[in-house]
Amino acid sequence: MKNLKKILIKRKIMGMTDLPMLSGNVVQLMRMLKDPGVPVSKVIDAINKDQSLVAQILKLVNSGYYSVRSKVNTLDHAVALVGFVKIWELLMSTSVMNIISGKEQNIWLHSYTSSVLLREIIEEEKIQCSAKIQLTMLMHDIGKIVLSNFNSKAYRKANEESIENAIPQYKLEIKHIGVHHAEVGGWLLQAWELEDEQIIPISLHHSEKEEIEANVSDWIKETALLRIVDYIDCKARGFAVDPPCDWLVKAAELDGLDLEKWYMHQQETLASLEETAKENMVASSQ
């Protein structure tokens, strides 16, 4: 019965006319990038034809997302700095930025700072994992956008109850909608034809032990990293969140991570971002 209900919800959600999709232009570029012999200049020329896409890519690269320090003014420069293999990731990240930030600024800020924190952790702790993990983190809550399009009233209720009663939001999404955003995010990314290394950690980032054990396969480290970083950023932002379970952290060999240290680091990052935002507001009002 429970499964049948979920099948029906999935059918309704995946049939929505406002399901977030990649733009025709990005899909075309992705197809071009599937050819391993495609010349870099051909891809750059194709992206340069869409100046709004170029502007969004430069905005992301200059935001500090890729730890690029110098100011980047052209697409050629951006590609030279982040590397040609990252073009696919740049296009996806830009699309995700448009979908999330255009709809829910709070989800975007959490996704963005979680993604930067994840990069810092894997660089400093020298963790070997999927090369796409930073992008996976950036899109981990994309299912919230789908749920809010699907049933905005129930989604808002889940969000408000989560804040009022300090209960993790995903539990209230199950109560009010019948499914949580992590699972829905997995459905969406399947429709986008992404790979298991991204779909599995996102689908499982709020699952219980049994479900993770049955489905995680090769992506246990990525699943655990998503949960750890999500926990740290949510806690630093004052959102209700469950701590990552010990067995998962151990199974992923991440039990050496000092969560308290990274939590304090994230608190400082968020405080300095808030400070910069205030200064910018004052500067623009003068």
Q: Which residues bind Fe ion (CB under 5 A)?
A: 141, 230
For Fe ion, give the closer residue by CB, 29 or 136: 136
Measured from the CB atom, the residue of 57 and 142 that comes closer to Fe ion is 142
* Rounded alpha-carbon distances, angstroms, from residue 235 to 5, 104, 110, 141, 241: 33, 19, 11, 16, 7
CB 82 within 8 A of CB 60: no
Write down the least CB distance from residue 124 to Fe ion, Å: 21
Closest separation between CB of residue 37 and Fe ion, Å?
Answer: 38
Question: Shortest Cβ distance from residue 68 to Fe ion (Å)?
Answer: 25
Tell me, rounded to whole angstroms, the distance of Cα 60 from its chain centroid. Answer: 14
Residue 88 or residue 239: which is nearer to Fe ion going by CB? 239
CB of 181 to Fe ion, least distance (A): 6
In this complex, which beta carbon is closest to Fe ion, that of residue 185 or of residue 254?
Answer: 185
At residue 21, what is the residue type? M
Kindly state the smallest distance separating residue 247's Cβ from Fe ion, in Å: 20
CA distances in angstroms from 23 to 3, 53, 142, 251, listed in the order given: 32, 10, 16, 38
Sign of CA dihedral 176, 179, 183, 185: negative
Task: Please say which residue, 75 or 138, places its beta carbon nearer to Fe ion.
Answer: 138
- Closest by CA to 246, choosing from 209, 194, 206, 280, is 209
